[in-house]
Amino acid sequence: MVSMEESADSCGSRAADAAQASQPRQQRRKLEAYNEVLRRLREAGRPEALSPSFEDELWVHFNRLPARYAMDVNVERAEDVLTHMKLLELAHDPANRPAFAVRLVQVSPVLHGKRVEFFDSNQPGEEDARSTSNYFSRQRQIAHQGSLS
């Protein structure tokens, strides 16, 4: 990972070179998101993240996109960045366009503007809680989340 304070001499990555110059807030945010995604992918043991060239590849990915990408990316879902990188690589060849990925997500219902917590209907408790639980358990929805490049 690259810290804002590291000099270019201590690390040969493009991220360190970019960190050298005084950066506007957006560039710092991009570097912070890059570092967090890199850390999470390495901690997860993702094979891509263990490659010697991955640090630079990830920085190229972050740096080629607008600063808004770093602000919008959910660093807690670092694997999504890998998916995005792969989609952009696929879409580079016109024969592969459009490139997309789809995954299933589970959506919880909303009641009065708040997400509904599900109760264990087997536990003793108020009848209202159990009937609400049973009703909303049946209402859980499966949705698709897609990424397109």
Q: Mind listing the pLDDT tens digit for each residue in 10-42?
A: 445 666 555 555 468 888 999 999 999 999 999
Mean pLDDT for 127-132 is 47
Q: What is the pTM (predicted TM-score) of this model?
A: 0.61
State the pLDDT at residue 21.
52
What are the two backbone dihedrals, phi and then psi, of residue 146, each rounded to the nearest 5 degrees?
Answer: -120, 155
Which runs of E-coded beta strand occur in the chain? 100-107, 110-111, 114-115, 141-148
The overall average pLDDT reported for the chain is 76
Contact partners, residue 136, CB within 8 Å, separation at least 6: 108, 109, 111, 116, 118
Q: Percent of the chain beyond pLDDT 70?
A: 60
Extents of the domains making up the chain: 1-94, 98-149
Provide the 8-state DSSP code for 49: H
